[in-house]
Structure 1
Amino acid sequence: MDPNGEHSPLGFLPCYKPPGATSRDLVNRAQRRLRGEFGLRKLKVGHTGTLDPLAEGLVLLAIGSAARLTPWVLQHGKRYLADFRLGVSSESGDLESELVTQTGVKLPTAAEIEQVLEDFHGVVEQTPPAHSAIKVDGERAHKRARRGEDFEMPKRRILIDSVKLISYEPPMMRLDVRCGSGTYLRTLGMDVAAACGCAAVMTKLIRNEVGRFTLDDTLDCAFMFDDDDREKMSPEPMLKYLRPAIEGLTHMPAMNLDRQQISMLQAGIRISGTPEAPSEPLPEAWIGCIDQVDTFDRNTDVLDCIGVDRSDGSSGPWGELVAILRPHGKLWHPLRVFPTTESITLRG
């Protein structure tokens, strides 16, 4: 492999992030270990969605040039279990700041909560918490909040596929939420509580799913953070959990490519062709309102498709990813092109 990462691994690594760790620290520690496993001096590693330090669960790491696919992976929905304590508030909306107990407030019944939840589906307007990583006037909001500055967080529209009340033992409420990227679960719980006439703070958050990736299939990365031992080795190779990049794109239409088309795309030449329907499409309701959502990456398009090589059958049921394609008139323009196994062999 090229030590500069040109032919480095391409794929997604589903990881379990323990509570208390930052997503950035997980990326850094995983990157160091993966470089050692692959024998590379350089290896790009990113993630497809931050989890707050308080939260735990699935963080999908993008390995090598799979980091260039992040905008399309973010089209996937995510699933969470979120616990809230009703009747209290805090400046941060969670347990990171001092709790203030409400007085003279009647907590809602389970039936009242379920009735309110009916209004939290589809496109929902949300005001992110001040204690968040969103930039306001060029600076992270949480930094300004910790300095005690007074500023207004911009509202934005998000997508919620479903939100269900899983359990309710006052004052504790647990919600099962399927939503789009950019949704703040803290704010969602606080908004639900406010609609019920009380306040709430989030006490626990678990991310269970990102698209087809689930928490059951993750590498437990808690070992990286034990006793702050940065050099502690993985109990098993991390490579074992690396998934083909195309698994993050199964919601997109796919075009089967022949050798000539692959060569043309690698040369930056547009091609003709007809893509097949996606094997795991996004919900139709999502596609219909994506343009209304502020957290959708405008560098992507719901008409984009993937070009795949299924010639030898050795790359699984989806084939090998060749390119991200965008319609250009009657042709398809290569937005992202990736080295195939054959091209690496020819060059290597």
Structure 2
Amino acid sequence: MTTQSTILDGIVNFNKAGRVTSRAAVNQVLHAAGIRKLKAGHAGTLDPIATGVLVVCLGKATRLVPYIHEFPKEYIGTFQLGVQSPSDDIESPLHPLSDPHRPSCDEILAILPRFLGAIEQVPPIYSAVKVDGRRAYKLARAGEATELKPKTVEIHRIDIQSYVYPHLELKILCGTGTYIRSLGRDIASALNSAAVMTRLSRTAVGPFQLATAVAEGDLAAGLVGNVLPCQLGVSQLSQLTVDEIECNAMRNGQPFQPNEAQERVLANPKRTLELAAVGTDGRLIAIVKQRNGQIWPVKFLDAQA
């Protein structure tokens, strides 16, 4: 039986406002849902200062958060050169350099390729990174010295949007876990300067675009009509179409033997381990994987389960 809560099993492409935490933004979506105990979560934190795309998963779609994390993310970040701060943005006291280098646009363009591909990046000390079980920002606020370890992140593209010293605006396409504050700081350091991030907007997470995101004011009449199908969250996976018999097998945790059409998909998957099983109507039924010549359910999401 279809209920109001199963109608809301899906994804909201939410446009988070500034000065709002990601958790508070999720609560705004839940308030619009008007359903008690509806499970919800987001697929990638935005700092309070940041605006833009926050992918909010509802109901059974919360099981797809790890897959949404895999999508590349696009940001537009604005930085002020010649200034530094403990948090690498304007949320902590600013300290201007005494005689900062004023790089030309050509100088900036010349060093950007150093920051493409897999790079090592030290997160800001004011971040949600855990140090011995405690958040780094809590340690920083308590005045406790912390030394964060570098982590490997993937930067796909960096473009200069505008530059009039000291203000530099960059468009960045990157993988999960990237701190844009840290990237701006490190680019400025390579230019013999410093930088703080003054503004940040996440303009895309995979197929979820800022141009089609809904803001809190758009949800005044409720969520129905603003909930996107679960399959958008796994659009990077190859799709297997399954019939009702195969769906029932997966509902009971059982595998099934692939047919000829499914075998062709399995021969050239987008990803080697997991695939998206969809019904004949296109709805996402399950995440599956192949094992010993059979198709096994990994996560079952069919609303009728």
> Which stretch shifts more, 105-114 or 331-340?
331-340
- 1:73 CA drift (Å): 1.0
Q: Which residue of 1 aligns with 2:295?
A: 332
Question: 1: CA distance between counterparts of 2:152 and 2:187?
Answer: 16
Pairwise mapping of residues 314-329 of structure 1 onto structure 2 (< 5 A)? 319-329=282-292
- 1:77 CA drift (Å): 0.6
Equivalent pair of 1:257/1:307 in contact (CA under 8 Å)? yes
Question: Is residue 94 of structure 2 the alignment partner of residue 99 of structure 1?
Answer: yes
Q: Which residue of 2 aligns with 1:18?
A: 17
Q: Which runs of 5+ in 1 are unaligned?
A: 224-232, 283-300, 314-318
In structure 2, the CA distance between the partners of 1:137 and 1:308, relative to structure 1 (3 Å rule), is same
Question: 2: CA distance between counterparts of 1:91 and 1:101?
Answer: 12
Coordinate RMSD, CA, aligned: 2.1
Q: Which residue of 2 aligns with 1:305?
A: 275
Q: Which residue of 1 aligns with 2:29?
A: 30
Which amino acid in 2 is paired with 1:239?
Answer: V
CA-to-partner distance for each residue in 1:201-259, whole Å, 9 max, x for gaps? 000000010111111111112x4xxxxxxxxx944432221100101111111111122
Q: Which runs of 5+ in 2 are unaligned?
A: none
Question: Is residue 103 of structure 2 the alignment partner of residue 140 of structure 1?
Answer: no
Q: Which residue of 2 aligns with 1:288?
A: none
CA-to-partner distance for each residue in 1:305-335, whole Å, 9 max, x for gaps? 110112xx4xxxxx11010012323222211
- Alignment partner for residue 248 of structure 1, among 207, 221, 233? 233
CA-to-partner distance for each residue in 1:272-295, whole Å, 9 max, x for gaps? 3336669xx98xxxxxxxxxxxxx
Which amino acid in 2 is paired with 1:103?
Answer: S
SS where residue 286 of structure 2 aligns? strand
In structure 2, the CA distance between the partners of 1:325 and 1:107, relative to structure 1 (3 Å rule), is same
Q: Which residue of 2 aligns with 1:46?
A: 41
Equivalent pair of 2:32/2:221 in contact (CA under 8 Å)? no
TM-score, structure 2 normalization? 0.92
Q: Which residue of 2 aligns with 1:113?
A: 108
In structure 2, the CA distance between the partners of 1:69 and 1:198, relative to structure 1 (3 Å rule), is same
Question: 2: CA distance between counterparts of 1:178 and 1:276?
Answer: 33
Equivalent pair of 1:254/1:275 in contact (CA under 8 Å)? no
- 1:338 CA drift (Å): 1.5
Which amino acid in 1 is paired with 2:24?
Answer: D
Equivalent pair of 1:126/1:156 in contact (CA under 8 Å)? yes
SS where residue 114 of structure 2 aligns? coil
Question: 2: CA distance between counterparts of 1:89 and 1:277?
Answer: 52
Question: 1: CA distance between counterparts of 2:165 and 2:265?
Answer: 46
Equivalent pair of 2:75/2:204 in contact (CA under 8 Å)? yes
Q: Which has the higher contact order (CA 8 A, sep 6+)?
A: 2
Question: 2: CA distance between counterparts of 1:79 and 1:13?
Answer: 18
Equivalent pair of 1:14/1:58 in contact (CA under 8 Å)? yes
Which amino acid in 1 is paired with 2:168?
Answer: M
Q: Which residue of 1 aligns with 2:122?
A: 127
Question: 2: CA distance between counterparts of 1:275 and 1:187?
Answer: 45
- 1:49 CA drift (Å): 0.6
- 1:183 CA drift (Å): 0.5
- 1:3 CA drift (Å): 8.2
SS where residue 241 of structure 1 aligns? coil
Equivalent pair of 1:324/1:335 in contact (CA under 8 Å)? yes
Question: 1: CA distance between counterparts of 2:2 and 2:137?
Answer: 40
- 1:122 CA drift (Å): 1.4
TM-score, structure 1 normalization? 0.81
Which amino acid in 2 is paired with 1:182?
Answer: G
Question: 1: CA distance between counterparts of 2:68 and 2:264?
Answer: 19
Question: 2: CA distance between counterparts of 1:60 and 1:218?
Answer: 9
Q: Which residue of 2 aligns with 1:195?
A: 190
Question: 2: CA distance between counterparts of 1:112 and 1:180?
Answer: 25
Question: 2: CA distance between counterparts of 1:234 and 1:267?
Answer: 37
CA-to-partner distance for each residue in 1:174-217, whole Å, 9 max, x for gaps? 00001111110000011111111110000000001011111111
Question: 2: CA distance between counterparts of 1:339 and 1:187?
Answer: 40
- Alignment partner for residue 178 of structure 1, among 167, 173, 187? 173
CA-to-partner distance for each residue in 1:28-62, whole Å, 9 max, x for gaps? 2221221x2xxx33201110111000100111100
Equivalent pair of 2:240/2:265 in contact (CA under 8 Å)? no
In structure 2, the CA distance between the partners of 1:127 and 1:276, relative to structure 1 (3 Å rule), is farther
Question: 1: CA distance between counterparts of 2:18 and 2:145?
Answer: 29
Equivalent pair of 2:101/2:191 in contact (CA under 8 Å)? no
Equivalent pair of 1:323/1:335 in contact (CA under 8 Å)? yes
Q: Which residue of 2 aligns with 1:290?
A: none
